[in-house]
Structure 1
Amino acid sequence: MTTTVIPPAVRPPAGPAHRDGNVLRWLGAYTASMIGDNVFYIALSWAAVRSGTPSQAGLVMAVSAVPRALLMLGGGVVADRFGPRRVVIGSDAVRCAAVLTVAALLFVAHPGLWLLALLAVVFGIVDAVFMPAVGALPARVTGRDQLARVQGMRGLAVRFANVVGAPLGGLGVALGGSATAFALAGLLIAVSVPLLISVRMRETPPAGGADAANTAPAGAEAVGPPGDPDGSPDGVPARGDASGPHARVPEDGAAAVPDRPATAWRDLRDGLRYIRGHRVLAPLIVTIALGDLGFVGPLNVGLALLADRRGWGASGMGLVVAAFGAGAGAAALLLAWRGTLPRAGSAGAAALLGGSVAIGALAQVPGVGAAVGVALAIGLLAGLSGALCGALLQTQSDPAYLGRVTAVAGIVSLGLAPLSMPLTAAAIGWWGTGPVFAGSAVVCGLGGVVALAVRDLRRAELPR
């Protein structure tokens, strides 16, 4: 008789996440991948500008957003079905291979814009599965009580990647053109793959955990995470396992009865039904959506137009952007250090309301110095709100649905919110910066109002 030895599941670390080697390996992989992304977009924009007209270059830069927005819900299903770790590893491997292939082609020839557009589409397709998996992965590498700290550490990694990635991309272009910058991006993404392979996964907690009281009423079909009875990696049940997300659990406590065969479409519907019936997640995603819709336009294209009209110049705009980044980094550092904040739901709502007021005030300040101070406040408040909302999203979600939950939240942030940028620019041309910034502040503030109005979200707490 053959004996199968099942390795023990990774237990939550006894100490804080910033001292856990498993979390640090994941964070190193994530940081390397994000720096590679920043270098990639510098290389892509430079190559597109050198190969075509400004309008063609803009089209190349925007084309990746289409498949990302259209396919992200499906990407959430993929992440939950196959496990976030293997999806992230596969996504990074595909992105690395695609970027290095384009770098090699650019070293020997000049294929033109079609190759750059194809690469952008490939990145958009891969991002549609990569981003939900990245959102679902922290819950598999640490305990629930450390997820808020990990969210802060992840925010610091994003800020670091933004600061370091752009100069590295510029250096690569300066040394050897777009081909060298693409090669550098591919190598940075490649670094993440062995680090991710070395990351150990926690056992997925059983269904009906801490968030069970927030989901659909009793008597509904019980849908929970797989139980790993066969030692399958990443919490993926074996074929025919009756403990997966589509097992119907009888109310008398008998063994689970396999339901109809799971399909991707059914997984998607189950995920949307789970979010809709959750008393915290549903209003939380609305809060995140309103905050992003009110934030993205003014702080991107609106800020450039504001700086131009005020005569601040590129250097003044750079100072304002830097102040915002410093504030957001400070908020992430606070959460990474503290690990949790009391009354997280109310604190996130209050920070979002304060940030919305600061967004409206930014269009009213005359000088660069005052704008830098207001931008610092926006970064701190919006960064704190975003970090708390992200941490609540992680801790309130059943791990079996976290990929789909992240996908729904990401569709607004990465798909719908960027569409507000051209609308913001057009509206500023019609009505000026003051009314448009004020209107965006109202939209952003509505997110805070929703969070305060919904009792379960207002009272939501992060685990200690």
Structure 2
Amino acid sequence: MNMLTQTGRTHPFGEVLGNRNFRLLWIGEGVSVLGDHFYMIALPWLVLQLTGDSLAMGTVLALSAIPRALLMLVGGALTDRFSPRSLMLVSNAIRFALVSLLTILVFTNNVEMWMLYTLAILFGVADAFFYPAQSSMTPQLVKMDHLQIANSLMHGTMMLAMLAGPVLAGVLIAVLGDGHSGSAGMQGIAAAFGLDALTFLVSLVMMAFIKTPRAASSDNDENILESIRSGLNFVWNDLPLRAFFFVVAAVTFFFNGPFNIGVPILADTRFPEGALAYGTILSTWGAGSLLGMALAGMLPRPNPKSMGALLLSLVSVMGIGLALLGVSASTFIAAVIGLMLGSLNGYINVFFTTWVQSRAPKAFIGRLMSLLMFSSTGLFPVSMALSGAVSRVDVTLLLTVSGGIVALLGLMMTLNPTVRSMEPAVQAATVVE
């Protein structure tokens, strides 16, 4: 794509990628996310090789998720108190050390389950401080007018890494073993962890060269709990923010759980292709998400006065799509619906993230982003459990009723004049180019 317009002015994508600080963040996090998916494939494979027990595998994953959720708001408060860059550097240094240690333990065949339990908890704690800081970093590096494009690039690159990472990790483990949990070589698993550690090192180097605005001195005497309460009060007193955070939590509960539970059941019980159908639907969802994120960066930003109505209408369409998925009769139809749902999800995520970042005062952005993450993940385990219970009765009922609730919720919220307009805040963060 030509980065120059006919008038000789740089295209917005070119301006964003020409920003040295953002480019370093984009490269570092893109590489790091790719490594994260090596870790996510290698860790359960390692547990299965050591124990052959799916319960042990679930326990390790849960031990990482629990501190991540519990400490997410603390991570947001610390991001606002110090700086996103500082927390990202410290968190990535800790995660680099943990994964490097795990690589050595696996390579030397000295790894034991108690070590994995401990490392999982520590990794979850580091994640809780990293993710709010990461999502608060982009607004410090790009102009407000370029925030939508920057988020499109960041989210799209992460989605691309999410699609490629598991495949590459599986190939690596299979090449050094035979790809089955009972006999996959420890060398392949150790190599996957080692590559993840290397990506953390790349991210650390990139972050070290990023220049961010000098943090202003603060007279804030709040402790961490008071700081978290201030963030909660800010969202509660901002009616559009409160409404949209409620929508995020509701969509997590009524869409994400049913989709993640319902799709594999449909593939297993309705579609003759079985596992191939499952993989196809997830692949079209991923491709759709990538497409939606790209479109969010390329298409003009909607008028703020109508953006809320637009995004909520798209949420309603996602609900209708989920209901249609529940009655789909073939893998092809389900895959087309998956493509549509992924596109809508990617488009909405970029615009909503950009809106929250632009609306948040600089002093609150870490807490608001941590609250956003918490609202999108806190109810997910409950949603998965309830969806699993309902699916035992009827998976069609699960998907159609959940989809109907999401569609109705989006429609009802569009009738609320408070949330139809999504004006950004007037305060903008200082940017270092």
| Fold match (TM-score > 0.5) | yes
In the other structure, the counterpart of 1:328 is 289
1:283-432 equivalences under 5 Å are: 283-311=243-271, 312-338=273-299, 340-342=301-303, 343-430=306-393, 432=394
- Matches of 1:14 and 1:154, distance apart in 2: 12
In the other structure, the counterpart of 1:22 is 21
Secondary structure at 2:127 match in 1? helix
1:107-126 equivalences under 5 Å are: 107-126=107-126
1:93-172 equivalences under 5 Å are: 93-172=93-172
Question: Any runs of at least 4 consecutive aligned residues in structure 1 with deviations exceeding 4 A, and if so which?
Answer: none
- Matches of 1:450 and 1:15, distance apart in 2: 40
Q: What is the identity percentage for the equivalent residue pairs of Structure 1 and Structure 2?
A: 27
2:395 to 409, 428, 433: 433
- Matches of 2:351 and 2:73, distance apart in 1: 23
- Matches of 1:352 and 1:443, distance apart in 2: 11
Do 2:22 and 2:141's aligned partners in 1 also have CA atoms closer than 8 Å?
yes
- Matches of 2:308 and 2:200, distance apart in 1: 35
**14-23 vs 420-429, greater mean Cα deviation:** 14-23
Shift of 1:332: 0.3
Shift of 1:412: 2.4
Is 1:445 matched up with 2:407?
A: yes
- Matches of 1:441 and 1:35, distance apart in 2: 32
Structure 1 spans left out of the alignment, 5+ residues: 1-12, 204-232, 247-260
In the other structure, the counterpart of 2:190 is 179
Secondary structure at 1:280 match in 2? helix
Q: Which amino acid aligns with 2:297?
A: A
Superimposed CA distance per residue, residues 254-304 of structure 1 (whole angstroms, 9 cap, x where no aligned partner): xxxxxxx33112211111111111132111211111122222112222210
TM-score normalised to the size of structure 1?
0.82
- Matches of 1:457 and 1:30, distance apart in 2: 33
Superimposed CA distance per residue, residues 49-93 of structure 1 (whole angstroms, 9 cap, x where no aligned partner): 111112111211222111111111111111111111111111111
In the other structure, the counterpart of 1:251 is none
Secondary structure at 1:104 match in 2? helix
Shift of 1:236: 4.8
Question: CA 1:453–1:84 in 2, change beyond 3 Å: closer, same or farther?
Answer: farther
Question: CA 1:161–1:452 in 2, change beyond 3 Å: closer, same or farther?
Answer: same
Superimposed CA distance per residue, residues 94-126 of structure 1 (whole angstroms, 9 cap, x where no aligned partner): 111100111111112333211112221111111
Secondary structure at 2:378 match in 1? helix
Is 1:190 matched up with 2:153?
A: no
Superimposed CA distance per residue, residues 170-220 of structure 1 (whole angstroms, 9 cap, x where no aligned partner): 23323323211111111112111111122222x4xxxxxxxxxxxxxxxxx
Q: Which amino acid aligns with 2:281?
A: V
Do 1:284 and 1:451's aligned partners in 2 also have CA atoms closer than 8 Å?
no
Structure 2 spans left out of the alignment, 5+ residues: 1-11, 177-186, 426-433
Q: Which amino acid aligns with 1:400?
A: A
- Matches of 1:135 and 1:446, distance apart in 2: 30
Do 2:259 and 2:399's aligned partners in 1 also have CA atoms closer than 8 Å?
no
Do 1:138 and 1:150's aligned partners in 2 also have CA atoms closer than 8 Å?
yes
- Matches of 2:407 and 2:90, distance apart in 1: 39
Do 1:345 and 1:459's aligned partners in 2 also have CA atoms closer than 8 Å?
yes
RMSD, aligned CA: 2.1
Superimposed CA distance per residue, residues 113-158 of structure 1 (whole angstroms, 9 cap, x where no aligned partner): 1111222111111111111111111111111111111221122012
Do 1:293 and 1:444's aligned partners in 2 also have CA atoms closer than 8 Å?
no
TM-score normalised to the size of structure 2?
0.87
Shift of 1:462: 6.3
In the other structure, the counterpart of 2:35 is 36
- Matches of 1:157 and 1:438, distance apart in 2: 32
- Matches of 2:207 and 2:302, distance apart in 1: 29
Larger fraction in helix: 2
Shift of 1:42: 0.7
Shift of 1:14: 11
